[in-house]
Structure 1
Amino acid sequence: MTLSHENELVVVSGASSGMGAATAHELAKRGYHVLAGVRRQEDADTIRGANLEPVILDITIPENIEALVERITNDPERRRLRALVNNAGIAVNAPVEALPLDQWRRQFDVNLFGHVALMQAMLPFLHESRGRIVNISSVGGKVAMGTYGAYSGAKFALEAVSDALRRELAPHNVQVVVIEPGGVKTEMTGHGIDRAQIFVEEMTPIQRKRYGALMQAIINQATAFTKTGVPASDAALVIANATTTRNPRTRYTIGRDAAVLTRLSRILPDRVLDRLIAANLRPYWKITDTE
């Protein structure tokens, strides 16, 4: 017998495209009423569908979160919030020395503080339903490559917050799950590549001399991973399963690269891992040298 989920809500932030949109569609297909967080009205018009209700949600804007709370509180069908999928995010890649502080703050505002704000707002509902929080982290939340200081810093912090929250909520029967994707074909990766190229152009001549080749190698590597990465629809299946299965694991990886790197990070000494990461990047330096 198929269970009905028509009386259950799921909030998915960052649902305009990529993994967020695919996850929202997958959960809606499974019968949940999905409140799909988007930042623009044109994205809302695109994603709207059966069991899919777009809501304007920039997680860095308190008024958007307050409006979401009001929407759930006054749900016309008196549906319960079953889960929150924290998927919204941006990618900012540049060397620690060269990345302006306002960009560091923007990265943490979106990839950490916005998620915390949304979790705090949704937890009263999740306590009532004994629901679940699913935080979309990254393999970058376990391994920080060069130029990923800000992005990985926010993801490492999200992993720590998730661990603390899981232990705090366990006695109250609210579950916390972390998803760690590797290379996935998403628009966010493409936007991150575009931003990285802009940062190269904005570096001082000395910074460009120090880091320009590294940045280009990272851009080349990210571009290659985007072409060969896991489709967003496949990633959505992992996220949807983690959101709905009765007894979820505390962590899931997406993609072979994420599975391998997260395991290696636990067993290899730092210097050995440094050499492995450098070796994996080396072919993309060669591309840079011949262009």
Structure 2
Amino acid sequence: MPNWFSAASPSDSVVITGASTGIGAACALALDKLGYRVFAGIRNPADGERLQQQAGPRLMPIRLDVTDPASISAASHTVAAMVGERGLAGLVNNAGIGVAGPIELLPLTDWRRQFEVNVFGLIAVTQTFLPLIRTGRGRVINMGSIAGRASMPFMAPYAASKHALEAITDALRLEVQPWGIRVALITPGAIATPIWGKTRKDVDTWDATWSQDLKNMYKEGFTRIKEAATAAGEQAQPAGIVTAAVAHALGSRWPKTRYLIGSDAAIRAYLALLLPDRLNDWIITRIVKLPTRR
């Protein structure tokens, strides 16, 4: 067991949401190797079995659907019974989905689904597990995205949900500091995870329901963004690069409040911070080859 556990928490137990694939699975396996007792939140039992085959005997898959209050409650009772008075060393809020499309065309049900998972689900899980984190003087790690700082066209629902995590993380960090609870936001750029394929599949489904006139209006710009997203997905970095930041946020005596992951995230963050909006708009329009004013 790493000797820095004692600097962060008397516990060695961590809960990770959305651990079936991608970043969540990579974090579960990496923390397991570091000696943490990992409770890996999954929705499909087959995903849990696959994780267990790759991990040590202490990793425990738990059914955890962040949009289902009963599932969250059952998971918390399971974890509480296992960790006892030691509580939790950390909660990694990783579960998330991506909704894409023109703002004018996306039904409110799709916007609500985006926020139900990425925002309200995160809040519900955090509220439920905070007593165990307080007991263990643990940490809360929220998985954001560079999209939360620098939104792209046709990605508004996803970017808005990740922007909300910026505000939630900042507020929570101050609210729980009296109990020595540290809160950090992980901000990756393009990471190779199944979310790219899932989003493209969803876009094809939504596309079939949109009015032809409106689709024709947005076709050129939306096509350019889909091409850019495909290229970004092909060049995305492996999910493993996120795990080092998560491990540092959980175990370091002085964790950062924010972790920018990947050169693309750093470039987008600094451009958004330093350049005027219209110059940023011009750069994105030129790079992605978006249509301009007719």
What TM-score does the superposition give when structure 2 sets the normalisation length?
A: 0.92
Q: Measured at CA, do residues 4 and 256 of structure 1 come closer, stay the same or move farther in structure 2, by a change above 3 Å?
A: closer
> Is residue 38–residue 55 contact of structure 1 (8 Å, CA) maintained in 2?
yes
2:238 corresponds to:
231
> Is residue 142–residue 262 contact of structure 1 (8 Å, CA) maintained in 2?
yes
Gaps of 5+ in 2: none
Please say which of residues 95-104 and 188-197 is displaced more in the overlay: 188-197
Q: What is the Cα deviation at residue 77 of structure 1?
A: 6.7
State the alpha-carbon separation in 2 of the partners of residues 33 and 4 from structure 1: 15
Q: What is the Cα deviation at residue 80 of structure 1?
A: 2.6
Instruction: Please identify runs of 4+ aligned residues in structure 1 that moved more than 3 A.
Output: 4-7, 76-79
Please say which of residues 269-278 and 88-97 is displaced more in the overlay: 269-278
Q: Measured at CA, do residues 87 and 76 of structure 1 come closer, stay the same or move farther in structure 2, by a change above 3 Å?
A: closer
Residue 3 (1) aligns with residue 3 (2)? yes
State the alpha-carbon separation in 2 of the partners of residues 10 and 177 from structure 1: 15
Match of 2:283 among 249, 252, 276: 276
Q: Quick one: which amino acid aligns to residue 202 of structure 1?
A: T
1:13 corresponds to:
17
Match of 1:179 among 186, 196, 213: 186
Gaps of 5+ in 1: 286-291
Please give the root-mean-square deviation of Cα atoms over the aligned residues, in Å.
1.8
1:99 corresponds to:
106
Identical aligned residues as a percent: 38
- SS of equivalent to 1:110: helix
> Is residue 144–residue 185 contact of structure 2 (8 Å, CA) maintained in 1?
yes
What TM-score does the superposition give when structure 1 sets the normalisation length?
A: 0.93
> Is residue 177–residue 249 contact of structure 1 (8 Å, CA) maintained in 2?
yes
> Is residue 85–residue 136 contact of structure 1 (8 Å, CA) maintained in 2?
yes
- SS of equivalent to 1:71: helix
1:30 corresponds to:
34
1:62 corresponds to:
69
TM-superposition CA deviations, 1:171-190 (whole Å, max 9, x none): 22111100111111000122
Residue 115 (1) aligns with residue 122 (2)? yes
Q: Quick one: which amino acid aligns to residue 3 of structure 1?
A: N
Aligned 1:106-145 pairs, distance under 5 A: 106-145=113-152
2:175 corresponds to:
168
Match of 2:248 among 209, 221, 241: 241
State the alpha-carbon separation in 1 of the partners of residues 236 and 89 from structure 2: 30
> Is residue 7–residue 78 contact of structure 1 (8 Å, CA) maintained in 2?
no
> Is residue 193–residue 222 contact of structure 1 (8 Å, CA) maintained in 2?
no
State the alpha-carbon separation in 2 of the partners of residues 236 and 196 from structure 1: 29
State the alpha-carbon separation in 1 of the partners of residues 186 and 166 from structure 2: 10
State the alpha-carbon separation in 2 of the partners of residues 112 and 56 from structure 1: 19
TM-superposition CA deviations, 1:244-281 (whole Å, max 9, x none): 22211110111111111112211211111111111221
Please say which of residues 103-112 and 125-134 is displaced more in the overlay: 125-134
> Is residue 88–residue 110 contact of structure 1 (8 Å, CA) maintained in 2?
yes
Q: Quick one: which amino acid aligns to residue 89 of structure 1?
A: G
1:41 corresponds to:
45
